[in-house]
Amino acid sequence: LLTAIEMAPRDPILGITEAFNADKNPNKVNLGVGVYYDDNGKVPLLECVRKAESQLMEKATPRTYLPIEGLAAYDKAVQELVFGADSAVVQEKRAITVQALGGTGALKLGADFLKRFSPNAQVWISDPSWENHRALFESAGFTVNNYPYYDASTRDVNFDGMLKALGEMPAGSVVVLHACCHNPTGADLTEAQWTDVIKVVTERGLVPFLDMAYQGFGDGIAEDGKVVRRFADAGGALFVSNSFSKSFSLYGERVGALSIVAASAEEASRVLSQLKRVVRTNYSNPPIHGGQVVATVLSTPELRNMWEEELAGMRVRIREMRQALVQKLKDKAPGQDFDFVIKQRGMFSYSGLTKAQVERLRSEFSIYAVDTGRICVAALNSRNIDAVVEAIGKVL
């Protein structure tokens, strides 16, 4: 059985971390994975998380199984964060939310659910998209196609191409959209462009699946989440995966959620009953700790304010790093315009570096980026940025 098994390729993102960890160079920099590091190069433990954890420690609750759909207080808090407590979908109980193992786990639940109930649909992801989107939907059994998204010549969204493709998809197609902070390009749609997308998706009866892994890293929590609420208001079935890996710096706790909006409360309860079967046959029920932390923070006003401030701090620091990167590249790579980096949103910059240049960064300077040229700006800091800029200048 096992003798003929071939070696699988390294994961295009997490495989970089494996290579980075094995690198002995003390000056190595990991711009590969989407992880926020503070200015000291450390993954922060947010103060709101620390406080919530000490409250939870005092209570010292037993570790029984959570319900299949997760901690009720978590699901409620997440749903209100995603759609708004006073939104029609929440008020009318048309939305269901289940705790999931990070954003990836939420996507997989959604993919398995869709495959069960819409087996002949095809899935469409942006070109390019997060490296794992294709693999994840394919592993659920779907044919995955690309719709045009990024135009390397303008370093912006090829909106005409995207809209045309959406307008030609068969009804029932599943369209994966990045709610904010597009991964990997950092190029987001404008509000007016979203209006057109929502219109065509609704008119053609497509199934929107919004992936929101970076809420709060673009323009703010409310601003970044707005498109989800606009889709919910537009009516029609809606899938939303969200993650607290980045926004709470809780990567290893695997805290995310899948929400589905149905046409009525009765429909929603049928959807939930089936989604619970998907959870049960995958991992039975989710782990407790991360969900408790997030639920505690979101539902305690003092901790929630603290979270919003800490998240704003991360967002602002990333913006500063974008500015600094562009400024410093003006010296090290004269004649090349990197102003587009400032406009990009979220953790990533689609830098335009070629695969060969990325390989040189890795082999000559121990600077790790994704082969596509995606760099994680959130891993830059005041101590490593000069070395990174110097190296980029050399490989250019």
Q: Is 130 among the residues that bind ligand LMR (CB under 6 A)? A: yes
Q: Is 183 among the residues that bind ligand LMR (CB under 6 A)? A: yes
* Catalytic residue from among 112, 124, 130, 307: 130
Residue 130 bears catalytic tag: yes
Q: Out of 20, 30, 31, 34, name the contact with ligand LMR by CB under 6 A.
A: 34
Residue 211 bears catalytic tag: yes
Q: Out of 33, 175, 212, 293, name the contact with ligand LMR by CB under 6 A.
A: 33
Q: Judge contact between 59 and 269, C-beta under 8 A.
A: no
- Please tell me the count of residues contacting ligand LMR according to CB under 6 A: 8
| Neighbouring residues of 357: CB distance < 8 A, sequence distance ≥ 6 | 373, 395, 396
Using CB positions, name the residue nearest to ligand LMR. Answer: 34
Task: Give, to the nearest 10 degrees, the angle between helix 47-59 and helix 301-332.
Answer: 150
Q: Judge contact between 167 and 205, C-beta under 8 A.
A: no
* Peptide bond just before 208 cis, omega within 30 deg: no
Closer residue to ligand LMR in complex, CB, 66/348: 348
Least distance (Å) from ligand LMR to the CB of residue 13?
4
Q: Is 212 among the residues that bind ligand LMR (CB under 6 A)? A: no
Record the tokens describing residue 372, joined without a space: 């596509």
Q: Out of 79, 97, 132, 185, name the contact with ligand LMR by CB under 6 A.
A: 132
Q: Is 110 among the residues that bind ligand LMR (CB under 6 A)? A: no
Q: Is 250 among the residues that bind ligand LMR (CB under 6 A)? A: no
Closer residue to ligand LMR in complex, CB, 87/243: 243
Query: Footprint of ligand LMR on this chain (CB under 6 A)?
Result: 13, 33-34, 104, 130, 132, 183, 213
Residues known to be catalytic: 130, 211, 246
